[in-house]
Chain A
């Protein structure tokens, strides 16, 4: 993805201390502090999850030692939380992300790693695991969050900051594209040079289909969990990073919360792992990508 930049100068913050994807992030959620969960996952393992404080989580598999890490949490709605932490002290980078659905007492976990693919050392790989939350006195919910085709064919323009937004085109159950026909927004009064830069960037995009593998999971009515890894580009040029972005989305409010896990190839491959929020709009704008064959996969 092109590196976002804030094109709307903020008189109160000339230099933002955060990535352009992070600007509209809501305050971190501390509501889980002090709470514990028993997760029964479909890999056959039970896990304990104990949020010790607003920042520290203790977790582990049943019968094994618990370990603690530093987590961040965002709240999508009254019953849906997104929790993310990086596992410390391992030779490869590991990231655990959870969608805790306290309405259905269900959980979906994403276990992401960096460094498993020898030929693309910065490519993120991940596993998606479904499960349920054991609630004392209640039978375990036999239902699961599940992969869904419900979003196929939809386009959402997501705003991450004052000056950056991007459209996600959910073209199939397994792929996502970025439309070409969305020239970058320019501020009112943009200079000729800025316009030229925008046009040149638009031309480059026209010549290059951005298509990446993605997953789509339904959490409940109007709540979806989706994500992708910037894998296509990374496989062609392993010096790129192949970062992973995952998001929980409320389609009614057209709002999502999520995290980016990966590395910053423009900054000496500095580790990246941050949570963000975005606010969107569905649209039906026809685009060149709608009928474009994929140069990356057999269709």
Chain B
């Protein structure tokens, strides 16, 4: 198996389990963590006038609010990227447009990156996720807030990783430039016994071929700590060219030392439901360039 040959709709062989494997990008995601339960973060984010208090009531519920105001209750999920490094996500209930907050919290350095993502804020592109990054830190009692911040980085530029999501699927992430990203080229075929859902997905890939031959999307890369990065890929080009497809944002907390990641995907699924799930993968760096890396940038003319 290679990332260059992907079979859509092939079931994961599992002769033991009573229910099907999760499959897709969730097969190898690891268990969520409860370690934030009971903790409180006094967040100071650049570009926000007031600090934000986030209090994790338990493993699923949190309260957040600004000083002197009522606290709002949300449900959250947290995953652990490394010792004392967490990825936390929650939807703002009753928000319009639908708003998702993802926090990358480094308890060692106290640095925090907040990604505020909205779905449906651009009426012309209702599937498109728009995101804004806030750097900051949380305040420890009796201490000043650190001036140090996570920051955008070019350290990943020129690297590529082959990610394995499940026993059947690999993809190559090519970090071609500091603000864009490509997937390695893959030929797709349809599994003989593919489900109707998989066949529909395959048809979408086929429809793309003419107008969107290369997966090239805007991205940003943030350095969290040595060997750890947060990168974002938003399917803006795909959505602009094919308004019924793409638009989702993939946010990945990369452990470049162990070559594994936890991440979250936010956007609309093909069936129109909202996806806001953790995903995970294991991988390997590749020293062999993919053919898409030789293409001039940009493949798609900006709007």
Contacts and interface: CB of A to CB of B under 8 A. Distances in A.
Interface in A206-261: 221-222, 251-255
A24 B284 CA distance: 11
Contacts of B259: 8, 10, 23-24, 162
Contacts of A151: 16
Interface string B4-48: 000000001111111101100001101111110000000000000
Contacts of B12: 254, 281
Contact of B287 (A9, A280, A281): A9
A28 B12 CA distance: 28
A13 B15 CA distance: 37
B25 to A, nearest CB: 12
Interface stretch (B66-74, B76-84, B138-146, B271-279): B76-84
A8 B34 contact: no
A284 B12 CA distance: 12
A139 interface: no
A252 B22 contact: yes
A255 B30 contact: yes
B283 interface: yes
A162 B285 contact: yes
B257 interface: yes
Contact of B257 (A12, A28, A188, A221): A12
Given A252-B17, A255-B30, A188 B282 contact: no
Interface range, B side: 35 or more
Q: Which 3 A-B pairs have the closest CB atoms?
A: A281-B167, A162-B284, A8-B284
A253 B21 contact: yes
A33 to B, nearest CB: 9
Interface residues of chain B: helix, strand, loop or mixed (majority): loop
B206 interface: no
Interface residues of A, number: 43
A279 B19 CA distance: 18
Contacts of A266: none
B61 interface: no
Interface residues of chain A: helix, strand, loop or mixed (majority): loop
B258 A159 contact: no
Nearest to A26: B30
Contact of B82 (A9, A27, A251, A255): A27
B164 interface: yes
Contact of B258 (A23, A251, A255): A23
Nearest to B159: A11
A193 B13 CA distance: 34
A254 B258 contact: no
Contact of B34 (A24, A31, A279): A31
A25 interface: yes
A31 B22 CA distance: 25
Given A28-B83, A159-B164, A162-B284, A251 B14 contact: yes
A252 B21 contact: yes
Interface in A21-45: 23-31
A15 to B, nearest CB: 11
Given A12-B227, A31-B34, A253-B21, A154 B285 contact: no
A77 interface: yes
A76 interface: yes
Given A9-B287, A12-B257, A252 B28 contact: no
A164 to B, nearest CB: 11
B258 A25 contact: yes
Contacts of B282: 24, 159, 162, 279
Interface in B202-231: 227
A78 interface: yes
A78 B250 CA distance: 24
Contacts of B258: 23-25
Contact of A75 (B13, B18, B33): B33
A16 B82 CA distance: 16
Contact of A188 (B13, B22, B34, B288): B288
